[in-house]
Structure 1
Amino acid sequence: MADDAKGPRSVLFMCRMNSVRSPMAEAIARHGLSPSIFVASAGVRAGERDPFVDAVLAEQGMRLAGHQPRTIGDLEDDYFDLIVTLAPEAHHAALEFTRSMAVDVEYWPTPDPTVVTGSRDQIMSAYRDVRERLKAKVAERFVVGTPEIDAE
């Protein structure tokens, strides 16, 4: 793992379509980690932006700005010290993508809130749950001690 004294200098979060879990993790990491750490996200396939992600991030003063879903293929010239995968399909793709590279790959199983149906409140609750899980994992993995991540 990229657990040297400085930690990773660049982190890529990957999920299936780069529309929910990985961009949410990217926003949380950008919000709480040092600006000297390069943070990005990608998917196995490109999906569509999800308005529920924007809504749950905005509740905590975070935003995706001009994020547009992109794939791992869009990043071919980029190098990352650490790739964090959030879905099984992304994990397999990351292992394949990095097979000839010295890159650490970690799997953080994260539920897909898009499978939740029901009222807007029920759906928002599922997205908030993913946000909180990702905040906790980022804080734990990167030893984040900032009020933005620890708040609540």
Structure 2
Amino acid sequence: MLKVLFLCTGNSCRSQMAEGWARHLKSDDIQAYSAGIASHGLNANAVAVMSEVGVDISSQHSKHVDELADVEFHYVITVCDSAAESCPTFLGNAKVIHKGFDDPPRLAREAATEEGAIEYYRRVRDEIRDYVHTLPDALEGN
């Protein structure tokens, strides 16, 4: 089984959603993890929009990448540009792949209404789902 780390800046939203989707859709092929360059806590809106589609990430927690130093990953997928730029060096044979997604909390700050803000989370949630659907096949070409 492939061990895949979804890495983001704060491990609060995008990487958490990616871990949730991978556990929900690909648990036969992928052992999914998520972490951040920092640990910002689990984003409540990310939990809410994942729950809307039947994926419960409420028991996941925000982790600093150092907490997973003993795990030998096959792949590290950076899901934000900042994490891609500051991705730590992973020992072993982990292949680092960048697949960036928009930052829902940043986009939501510009929304006129709360419903408008949550739509950003839904859009990114669905984009991440679509990407996770392509795994692990999409990893083999990288």
Structure-2-length-normalised TM-score: 0.87
Spell out, residue by residue over 1:29-80, the C-alpha distance to the aligned partner (whole angstroms, 9 max, x if none).
Answer: 1000034521110000000221101111011100114211111111111111
The answer to whether 1:23 aligns with 2:5 is no
How many Å separate the matches in 2 of 1:64 and 1:130? 15
The answer to whether 1:80 aligns with 2:73 is yes
Spell out, residue by residue over 1:5-43, the C-alpha distance to the aligned partner (whole angstroms, 9 max, x if none).
Answer: xxx611100101000000000001100003452111000
Contact 2:14 2:101 survives alignment (8 Å): yes
The number of equivalent residue pairs is 135
Where in structure 2 are there 5+ consecutive unaligned residues? none
SS of 2:23's equivalent?
Answer: helix
- Name 1:61's counterpart in structure 2: 54
The answer to whether 1:102 aligns with 2:102 is no
How many Å separate the matches in 1 of 2:32 and 2:70? 15
- Name 2:4's counterpart in structure 1: 11
Structure 1 stretch displaced more, 33-42 or 126-135: 33-42
How many Å separate the matches in 1 of 2:100 and 2:30? 23
- Name 1:33's counterpart in structure 2: 26
Q: 1:29 is aligned with what amino acid?
A: A
**Percent identity of paired positions between Structure 1 and Structure 2:** 27
RMSD: 1.7
- Name 1:137's counterpart in structure 2: 131
The answer to whether 1:126 aligns with 2:120 is yes
The answer to whether 1:49 aligns with 2:42 is yes
How many Å separate the matches in 2 of 1:141 and 1:34? 11
